[in-house]
Amino acid sequence: MENNNDYWKQIDDTISIHDEYILSKEQRKHIATEEQNAYEKNIDSIKEIIEQFESELKARGFWTELQIDTKGFRFRFSLKGYYGPGGFSSQYHISGPLVLGIINTFGDSIRSFCKNRLEDNIEIGCNFDKNKFIEFTQKVLSDYVSPNNLIISKEQYEYLRNFNSNN
C-alpha cells in the first residue's frame, strides 16, 4: 500500500474535529451512575407493566422469563411454532444511557442488541417514558408473532401435514 500522507492527514484532521464530541471516561461514569439511580426509581413502574404482559402471555401458553432487579432487566418469551425466544434486556448504550436491547430470535437466545443511534432506542433510566415502553414491548411481541418468525411456512405446513412414508 502506497503511503499517502494527504489521506492520513485528512483522517487525523477529521478525528481531531470529532474529539469534542467523544465523552471522557469520567463523563461516561457520571452518566452511568445517574442512569442507574433513575432506573432504580423506575423499577416499580417497569415491573408493573411487564408483569401485565407476562400474565397475558402465560394465559396464551407462552413460556416466559422475567428478571428485574437493581442489577438489570431481562424479559424473554417463547411459544411453540415460533423461532425464539424473543424479548429484550437492559444494557448501557455506547454513549452512556441505559436502554433496552432486543433479542434476535434467529440468533443468540440470551444476547440483546441495541440500535447504534441513541434516539432509536427505548431508555429506561433518566429518560424513561412509560408509554414508549409499552409501545416498545407491544412492537417486540408483535414482531415475534409475525408470519416471518414462524418456524414453518403455510406451504411447508401443508407438505408436512400430508407427508407420508411412501413419498
Distance between CA atoms of 85 and 107, rounded to whole angstroms? Answer: 9
**What is the three-class DSSP state of 86?**
strand
Q: Which domain holds residue 91?
A: 43-161
How many beta carbons lie within 10 A of that of residue 147, not counting itself? 7
Domains: count for the chain = 1
Q: Is 72 contained in some domain?
A: yes
Distance between CA atoms of 105 and 144, rounded to whole angstroms? Answer: 8
Q: Is 38 contained in some domain?
A: no
What pLDDT score was predicted for residue 70? 95
pLDDT (tens digit per residue) in 74-90: 999 999 999 889 999 99
Q: Is 15 contained in some domain?
A: no
Q: What cell was used for 57? A: 402471555
Which string of DSSP letters, residue by residue, matches 21-40?
Answer: GSPPHHHHHHHHHHHHHHHH
What pLDDT score was predicted for residue 154? 74
- Residues (pLDDT < 50) of the chain are none
Distance between CA atoms of 163 and 167, rounded to whole angstroms? Answer: 7
> Strand 112-113 to strand 63-69: parallel, antiparallel, or no bridges (unpaired)?
unpaired
Distance between CA atoms of 33 and 124, rounded to whole angstroms? Answer: 13
What pLDDT score was predicted for residue 103? 87
DSSP code, position 63: E
What pLDDT score was predicted for residue 131? 97
How many beta carbons lie within 10 A of that of residue 118, not counting itself? 15
Q: Is 20 contained in some domain?
A: no
End-to-end distance of the chain based on CA atoms, in angstroms?
59
pLDDT (tens digit per residue) in 7-21: 999 999 999 999 988
Q: Is 34 contained in some domain?
A: no
Q: Is 129 contained in some domain?
A: yes
pTM reported for the whole predicted model: 0.82
Q: Is 134 contained in some domain?
A: yes
C-beta separation of 124 from 73 below 8 A: yes
Q: Is 150 contained in some domain?
A: yes
